Amino acid sequence: MNPDILRERQNATFDIEKLTNILDGGAERTNRRREIREVLVLNDPDFDYGTPTSLPTMILKLREYGISDPVEINWYKSMYWGTGREALGLHYVMFLPTLYTQCDSEQFNKWVPLIIGTYAQTEMGHGTHLRGLETTATFDPATQEFVMHSPTVTSIKWWPGGRNPLFLPLIFLSIPLSASLFDLFLSGFALPTCSGIVIGDIGPKFGFDAVDNGYLKLEHVRIPRENMLMKYAQVKPDGSYVKPLSSKLTYGTMVFIRSLIVGNAGIVLSQCCTIAIRYSAVRHQSEIRAGEAEPQILDYQTQQHKLFPLLATAYAFLFAGQYMIDTYNRISGDINQGDLSEMPELHALSAGLKAFTTWTANTGIEVCRMSCGGHGYSRSSALPDIYVEFTPSCTYEGENTVMMLQTARFLMKSYRQVQAGQQLSGAVSYLNKVHHRVMAPQAVSSQLDLNLNTLVDLYEIRAAMLVELAAQSIQQESARGKCQEDSWNNSTIDLVRASDAHCHYMVLKMFRDKVDQIEDPGVHSVMSTLAHLYAIHGMGNFTGDFLQAGVLTGAQVPSVSKCLKGLLAEVRPSAVLLVDAFDHHDKMLNSVLGRHDGNVYEAMFEWARSSPLNRTEVHESFHKHLKPLQAKL
């Protein structure tokens, strides 16, 4: 083991295993995750790491081992595929959940065990504006069929992932009866027997290469009436339409995925922090004091300032992901029982946190890559591949700006309710104080109050102020004679800013609540330090907001920076131990820089030598092209 990394692991001030257990949701979950990883994957003789042929093996193995719990499937898949996406990702995270949540019982029993599918909602002309989707599904009572049709070039289904060229069960969103409502259809076409279908691949992408994203054009293709997913809405044999309790129930799968993406952003950021911090512990470069040995780059304050707030953010997002999934499960359970009362809040929370966490993690991956210098740009680091696979999460499953505006819509509605004298509950209950003006900033002392509860309060006041400012912008636009829609559009910068601040407050609050639950003194102490770092770093990035909210004075600003530097120094001794607690296996991380043993250089040389370009002493291109040319000179 590299001596630097060995030294970093001595004198631990907290029990790493206990922190890993907290991340997993308990010691039993950690043991089960490791059993799946070590026994069912790594020690499985059939396991042929990450090669395309292993996809069928993976599916058969999941069935052989009886792994059906979604979290355990994900543990198995992430060990199998490492940090990349796999071709069946969409089947597991969108197609199956849609069948689980939108099929009636007869359809469920008929389809769920049997098929692999994709989710074809986006069209060439519309991905965000679902009410603008153009694909039609017209019911023909005479034949008891829907006629599916792509009327325009912009209605061609575009992007469905994992498009199987031979058999095409897919979830469709289309407009069967009216522009405002659309429903889900399962359309199983066995190509090429089925006429009226034009299918293909949309061509090379920025990345996401394991997933073949396709296109699908339908020319009056007929499917049985029974293929409409009929849990919430039905078309009866006589053609009458039974509307769902809410037209937004059709959007359920997207809310589920957005909820998953929050925790996934934490996982991806934790992978990158593991790579960058372990590498920074073994990389020596330049000098701090003339004549002395080159220091570990982790001892540079700027390197700590790049990486430690991201480390804190990774923990914050992992805890936010746990909260998000618990909230999703609770509310979707209520929805299943017909109680839709919290559906708007679930939508607003999942949309905002999806955007907030993916934007932050997306930037953070690049900071981790650049903090590793030239070796960070090598594919051996795994950081370029992680970035390329993660960055579309800011676009898919709800483009981030649009998602932030959906959260803003909920915040504005809540603000208006408070103005009308209603008492709010849930995540926006802090807006009650705005109405009663108890949001007046507390007496701000000359010293920065570092109590975590106080910091949460300051973020709450910042969010409330920005919500109020956005609402006032809309009111001012209206007062200038603008219609409601233009008043909204002319305030969207403020609205996104308010949603961002609301999400930032929510994430810090979840972090603080999780720290409060930690009983082990050592783990509590190090997690409390990270939560403080997360809060103070955000205060440093958005100082203007806190000044504008009156919860920070100009005189206190220097102490934010001073406090930040102190927290960076406090985290430094535990940095490697804190990434060890993420418990990412070398095989899954697939990074020469992030190896657990820290033997980076030896591994990098071996990795380079294994490159196809180094298979022969002299590359064949010399003999093929240069040598004949030389002979003519």
Ligand X SMILES: Cc1cc2nc3c(=O)[nH]c(=O)nc-3n(C[C@H](O)[C@H](O)[C@H](O)COP(=O)(O)OP(=O)(O)OC[C@H]3O[C@@H](n4cnc5c(N)ncnc54)[C@H](O)[C@@H]3O)c2cc1C
Ligand Y SMILES: CC(C)(COP(=O)(O)OP(=O)(O)OC[C@H]1O[C@@H](n2cnc3c(N)ncnc32)[C@H](O)[C@@H]1OP(=O)(O)O)[C@@H](O)C(=O)NCCC(=O)NCCSC(=O)CCCCCCCCCCCCCCC(=O)O
Q: Which residues bind ligand X (CB under 6 A)?
A: 90, 119-122, 126-128, 159-161, 208, 213, 392, 395-396, 399, 401-402, 405
CB nearer to ligand X: pick between 90 and 282: 90
Q: Which amino acid is at 340?
A: L
* The pairing of beta strand 145-149 with beta strand 221-224: antiparallel
Interacting partner of 213 out of ligand X, ligand Y, none (Cβ under 5 to 8 A depending on kind): ligand X
Closest CA to 397 of 264, 215, 255: 255
CB nearer to ligand Y: pick between 122 and 381: 122
| DSSP symbol at 250 | G
User: Packing angle between helix 383-390 and helix 343-370, nearest 10 degrees?
Assistant: 150
Q: One of 72, 123, 134, 397 is an active-site residue; which one?
A: 397
Interacting partner of 376 out of ligand Y, ligand X, none (Cβ under 5 to 8 A depending on kind): none
| 352 annotated binding-site participant | no
User: Which of 32, 57, 65, 70 is close enough to bind ligand Y by CB under 6 A?
Assistant: 70
Return d(Cα 91, Cα 74) in angstroms, integer: 13
Contact predicate 563/536, CB 8 Å: yes
Contact predicate 80/86, CB 8 Å: yes
Q: How many residues bind ligand Y (CB under 6 A)?
A: 36
- SS3 (DSSP) at 220: coil
Interacting partner of 160 out of ligand X, ligand Y, none (Cβ under 5 to 8 A depending on kind): ligand X
Q: What are residue 186's DSSP bridge partners?
A: 171
- 131 is an interface residue for ligand Y by CB under 6 A: yes
| DSSP symbol at 190 | B
Q: Tell me the closest approach of the beta carbon of residue 469 to ligand X, in angstroms.
A: 19
Q: Tell me the closest approach of the beta carbon of residue 541 to ligand Y, in angstroms.
A: 27
Q: Which amino acid is at 296?
A: Q
Q: Tell me the closest approach of the beta carbon of residue 126 to ligand Y, in angstroms.
A: 9
Encoded one letter per residue, x for contact with ligand Y by CB under 6 A and - for no contact, window 224-263 reads ------------------------x--x--xx-x--xx--
Closest CA to 592 of 241, 188, 206, 274: 274
The residue whose Cβ lies closest to ligand X is: 127
- 164 is an interface residue for ligand Y by CB under 6 A: no
Question: If you write DSSP's letter for every residue of 430-459 in order, what string do you get?
Answer: THHHHHTTTTSPP---SS----HHHHHHHH
Q: In which element (H, E) is residue 184 found?
A: strand 181-187
CB nearer to ligand X: pick between 147 and 402: 402
Radius of gyration of the chain (CA): 27
User: Which of 344, 441, 522, 550 is close enough to bind ligand Y by CB under 6 A?
Assistant: 344
Stretch that binds ligand Y, among 22-30, 394-402, 523-531, 561-569 (CB under 6 A): 394-402
Q: Cis peptide leading into 192, omega within 30 of 0?
A: yes
| 161 annotated binding-site participant | yes
Q: For residues 73-112, which are near ligand Y according to CB under 6 A?
A: 74, 77, 89-90, 92-94
Q: Which amino acid is at 130?
A: L
- Residue 397 catalytic? yes
Q: Which amino acid is at 428?
A: V
Catalytic residues: 397
Q: Which residues bind ligand Y (CB under 6 A)?
A: 70, 74, 77, 89-90, 92-94, 119, 121-122, 127-131, 161, 248, 251, 254-255, 257, 260-261, 264, 343-344, 347, 396-398, 402, 406, 409-410, 413
Tell me the binding residues for FAD: 122, 161
Tell me the binding residues: 122, 161
